[in-house]
A = this chain, B = another copy of it.
């Protein structure tokens, strides 16, 4: 093993890789922009405009949302270069789609989406065959969603040959939907005595073909560079040339190496673990809606990981004292790079892809039953209470030791 463990614990390991998981700069740049019709929703809600009948404008709203797979595409690229089939690109569209769809789900939109996709590629590295695989991947997910009762309309997209600034591949999606204003879930309604139900990001749901590592599509730059070893420096096109090259590909593994989760018994090759497609929670949420489960707030644990909730609600203290066992991929990342617990929870989902806040234990139990119906683990991971100060707080208990996060 040519694995060099970093001697020092880095204060902000992500920043050293050219990524800000907190996006302070971006928040500063956007702080004065309009927040939309609701101040507390997970996504921005806009009024319907144009020549539509006034009654429709009064009762429906529009949402438009953009996100992508980030650097997860680089692993698909490396895997293909290493002789894996072009199918390594096949589930990237699912990643890009679910990053958007499950964000929209957080505001109460569980069905009827429009999708426009954007591919930025280096055309000498990403072939037309690869593009065909990716476009087929979108169609495959649309079909899978349809089979689960979720309607998605494909608006097409754009493939840009932009090798002058793209070394490999960018996969991004914009999703839009129109929903009834009275169905909007506004996190400002999260109570100070609610229950937080966490839905697992790992395991194998009834609508997945294989076990999921739980990685989803956030923290990938750190995951890749922590897990993979220096062998992969032969792909400088996947290495940000502006960062210390010694901090890239510092891990112990090659793509074919196998890790095993001691809790679940599941085994993954590293490539399977990193490329594991982002699970959507839409089928679960749709069934919750059908059963009339009262939901006060939904948090998609994306950038910010298990501290994402800190941005939502009014003077809420989120206490997460009963988290599930950490999936193996996160333990491996942490171990490989010697990352502090506190940092891990604010970067990765750590096994909880979605947090749903319900008003009482009965609703929590019903919700858990529905998740389990789809073979998705779920449990009450904590509760909400009034924050000590006038901003939100997150407390994560790990082995009885509280990690405190303030806004």
Q: Chain A residues in contact with chain B, CB under 8 A?
A: 17-20, 23-26, 28-30, 33-34, 36, 43-44, 46-53, 55-56, 60, 62-68, 70-71, 73-74, 111-112, 114-118, 120, 122-125, 127-128, 131-132, 135, 139, 151, 153-170, 172, 174, 176-180, 221, 224, 237-243
Contacts and interface: CB of A to CB of B under 8 A. Distances in A.
Contact of A28 (B26, B132, B151): B132
B117 A155 contact: no
A106 to B, nearest CB: 14
13 contacts: A23-B159, A25-B123, A25-B127, A25-B128, A28-B128, A33-B139, A62-B114, A62-B155, A66-B116, A68-B118, A161-B221, A164-B239, A237-B241
A174 B20 contact: no
Contacts of A170: 120, 162, 165-166, 170
Contacts of A139: 33
B116 A163 contact: no
Given A26-B131, A60-B52, A66-B174, A163 B19 contact: yes
A243 B124 contact: yes
Q: How many copies does the complex hold?
A: 2
Given A64-B116, A166-B166, A242-B125, A174 B177 contact: no
A139 B164 CA distance: 27
Nearest to A26: B159
A180 B50 CA distance: 10
Given A120-B172, A166-B166, 4 more contacts: A25-B131, A46-B155, A74-B164, A165-B169
B33 A135 contact: yes
B122 A157 contact: no
B241 A135 contact: no
A121 B67 CA distance: 14
Nearest to A174: B174
Given A118-B174, A155-B44, A176-B114, A128 B70 contact: no
A112 B156 CA distance: 21
B44 A178 contact: no
A72 to B, nearest CB: 10
Contacts of A151: 49
A156 B62 CA distance: 13
A281 to B, nearest CB: 19
A68 B123 contact: no
A30 B20 CA distance: 35
Given A53-B56, A128-B25, A135-B33, A66 B162 contact: no
A245 to B, nearest CB: 12
B122 A242 contact: yes
Among A18, A53, A112, A179, max chain B CB count under 10 A is at A18
